[in-house]
Amino acid sequence: MNVDYKLNTVISVTQFKALLSNTSLGERRPLEDEKCLLGMLNNSNLVISVWQGELLIGIARSVTDFHFCCYLSDLAVDESFQQLGIGKQLQIKTQQQLGAKCKLILLAAPAANLYYEKIGFNHNPRCWVLEPGEAIC
């Protein structure tokens, strides 16, 4: 299969939304809020994307300082292209952009826990989340 991996290339909200809609990640992302999706794209400072021609088929969208930590916020591969190693390559290419001491951090969907363990991630039970609209007490 002929695909192209691109670093920090422009992705439209329409392309991003279409990709997310074709993944299980779409049910946990604000697909109806284009302003939010645009903000997600514009404020990420490391984006690796995968294209088949003009079609966006995968993305690894991160926020990082490139030296200590990198939060891999979205890892998505179109369902038609899954099980081909694209997701793993997105993670490898993300890691290649980081400094030698930089940790790669992500929140896994429940169904993906075994996948991340299998490819070398360590589970860390110390993550905490404050949902939108909730106040710090």
* Domain 4-118 -> CATH class: alpha beta
Q: Give the residue among 76, 61, 73 at the shortest CA–CA distance from 20.
A: 76
Cα–Cα dist 59/11, whole Å:
10
Mean predicted confidence (pLDDT) in 58-83: 97
On the CB side of 37, how many CA atoms lie within 13 Å of its CA? 19
| Mean of all residue pLDDT scores within the chain | 95
**pLDDT tens-place string over residues 5-56:** 999 999 999 999 999 999 988 889 999 999 999 999 999 999 999 999 999 9
Cα-flanking dihedrals φ and ψ of residue 5, to 5°?
-95, 135
User: If pLDDT is split at 50, 70 and 90, which confidence band does 112 have?
Assistant: confident
Is the entire prediction scored with pTM above 0.85? Answer: yes
The residue extents of the domains of the chain are: 4-118
Q: What is the mean pLDDT of residues 81-90?
A: 96
From 40-54, 63-77, 85-99, 113-127, the region with the lowest mean pLDDT: 113-127
